[in-house]
Amino acid sequence: MNTQRACLETLAYCLEEQGTSYSGKHIQLLQTCVETCNLSVRLMSMDSEFHQQACELCFEVCDACAIECERFEEDEVFKTCAEACRRSAESCRGMAGMTVRVNRSEQKSRNARM
């Protein structure tokens, strides 16, 4: 499953669930992930000189979205989304030529402050 689809399905799932703990920040992150992936794909297909920067941003957003979705590891919808985001993050990292990996504990603590 591609990341945009996984995030859109998870977003719809969050909006359909009544009385849940899904925050506005989580919903916003899912939307941002969809838009960032779309931008990266569009710039790549145009062979844009800015594709590398879009891939770097896409890596950061997909990684953050995967971490957020992993908080709900018992839920299959979130698990599927986290896996798709993780694959995209790694793909974007490679396309951007990034050699540094984000420290997961640092990212988690940054997300906890949001």
Residue 20, pLDDT score: 65
How sure is the predictor about 11, in pLDDT bands with cuts at 50, 70 and 90? Answer: very high
At 82 the three-state DSSP class reads helix
- Domain ranges for the chain, please list them: 3-112
Q: Which amino acid is at 29?
A: L
Residue 113, pLDDT score: 47
User: Chain-wide mean pLDDT for the chain?
Assistant: 85
Is the pLDDT confidence value at 109 over 70? no
pLDDT of 31-73, one tens digit each? 999 999 999 999 999 999 999 999 999 999 999 999 999 998 8
- 68 close to 46: Cβ distance less than 8 angstroms: no
Q: How far is Cα 31 from Cα 13, in angstroms, rounded to an integer?
A: 13
Residue 107, pLDDT score: 53
Please give the CATH number for the structural domain made up of 3-112. Answer: 1.20.1270.360
CA dihedral 70, 75, 81, 87 (to 10 degrees): 60
Residue 14, pLDDT score: 87
